Amino acid sequence: MSTGATPAIRCRGVTKRFGHVTALDQLDLSVPEGAVVGFLGPNGAGKSTTIRILLDLARPDAGEVEVLGHDPRTGGPALRRRIGYVPGELRLDDRIDVGETLRSWARIRGDVDPAYVDELCQRLSLDPTRATSALSSGNRRKVGLVGAFMARPELLILDEPTSGIDPLVQIEVLDLINEVRAEGRTVFLSSHSLSDVQRVADEVVVIRDGRTVGGGDLDELRRSTRQEFVVWFAASPPVDALHDLPSVSDLEIRDREVRGTIVGDPNPLLRLLAEHPVAHVVLPEPELEEAFLRLYGGGDR
């Protein structure tokens, strides 16, 4: 993780138990200000419990927690007004419509620009005249997103923000996240959608069984993964030279076609290819999923 920026979120040795079940076990994480950090892990890893502790909806049994420089247990309403939150499951008052819901939230938060609320509704294709009782799960998610973004908070904590939303609106949500980062604000993004995280995150934190098991700069994490490649040579392939590259493995050679995988820096392979006549090369960008599975031991899919 980055060390040069002031952390918007910091957890040190956080432990939380529910009866005989340990939800968090000495969890450590740090989220720099002005970054988008993806929070990854399967169901039961402790992501939701972590978020609840950050928002003082649950209290840790041990460890230290800081959000925007304050302990959530003592930050009170002043701290909560600096945070926008989209919960995994949003409950709404079904007796009123969407517009009334958003206006009531705006009154509670204060300092909300009605024109920006209207803009958010338009961008997310949310009709403010609709009754909340008639909303689908995806439209309820949109209401939560407008509520989280409306006051332009310093920190956004988003729990599965694109779940159940149609693809075009998902793109708008990711654009909003990018705009938040461009304004120097922070996003803590918990998601099962690795493609979403890969598109917007600067860094990732991966947890397993309540512990941090890896993470860091997203580009560096990608570069550390296994990357497949295919090369078609215009003449005989340099078989011995390819086998001598320590970062290359799993070589399959059929006539002038060479397939393999590379881990780490691709430049030694590229330099070798530049010395030989090459007809075509396929070297796709490494996927976050590969790094995620590697942090989980590969087989624990």
38 and 136 housed in the same domain: yes
57 and 181 housed in the same domain: yes
240 and 94 housed in the same domain: no
C-alpha span between 123 and 102 (Å, rounded): 15
52 and 141 housed in the same domain: yes
277 and 154 housed in the same domain: no
118-142 tens-digit pLDDT: 999 999 999 999 999 999 999 999 9
Whether the pLDDT of residue 2 is over 50: the answer is no
213 and 239 housed in the same domain: no
What pLDDT, on the 0 to 100 scale, is given for residue 226?
76
200-210 tens-digit pLDDT: 999 999 898 99
What pLDDT, on the 0 to 100 scale, is given for residue 1?
42
C-alpha span between 223 and 286 (Å, rounded): 7
129 and 273 housed in the same domain: no
Whether the pLDDT of residue 228 is over 60: the answer is yes
Over residues 252-269, mean pLDDT? 89
In the chain, how many domains are there?
2
What confidence category does residue 288 fall into, taking pLDDT thresholds of 50, 70 and 90? Answer: low
C-alpha span between 161 and 157 (Å, rounded): 9
Over residues 251-261, mean pLDDT? 93
The percent helix, strand, coil of the chain (3-state, each to 5) is 35, 30, 35
What pLDDT, on the 0 to 100 scale, is given for residue 43?
82
Residue-by-residue DSSP string for 243-264? HH-TTEEEEEEETTEEEEEEES
122 and 247 housed in the same domain: no
> Tell me, what CATH number does 64's domain have?
3.40.50.300
Whether the pLDDT of residue 99 is over 70: the answer is yes
**Structural contact between residues 210 and 203, judged by C-beta atoms closer than 8 angstroms:** no
What pLDDT, on the 0 to 100 scale, is given for residue 64?
96
Tell which wins on pLDDT, 290 or 63.
63
268 and 119 housed in the same domain: no
Among all chains, which residue has been given the structure tokens 């892990």? 41
Query: How many residues can be counted in the chain?
Result: 301
Q: Percent of the chain beyond pLDDT 70?
A: 92
Domain extent, residue 238, equals 226-285
Q: What is the pTM of this model?
A: 0.79
201 and 265 housed in the same domain: no
| 139 inside domain | yes
Over residues 89-95, mean pLDDT? 90
244 and 266 housed in the same domain: yes
Domain boundary (218, 253, 276) is at 218
C-alpha span between 203 and 14 (Å, rounded): 21
What confidence category does residue 301 fall into, taking pLDDT thresholds of 50, 70 and 90? Answer: very low
What residues form DSSP beta bridges with 205?
Answer: 39, 215
What confidence category does residue 286 fall into, taking pLDDT thresholds of 50, 70 and 90? Answer: low
140 and 256 housed in the same domain: no
What confidence category does residue 236 fall into, taking pLDDT thresholds of 50, 70 and 90? Answer: very high
CA–CA–CA angle 74, 32, 121 (5° rounding): 80
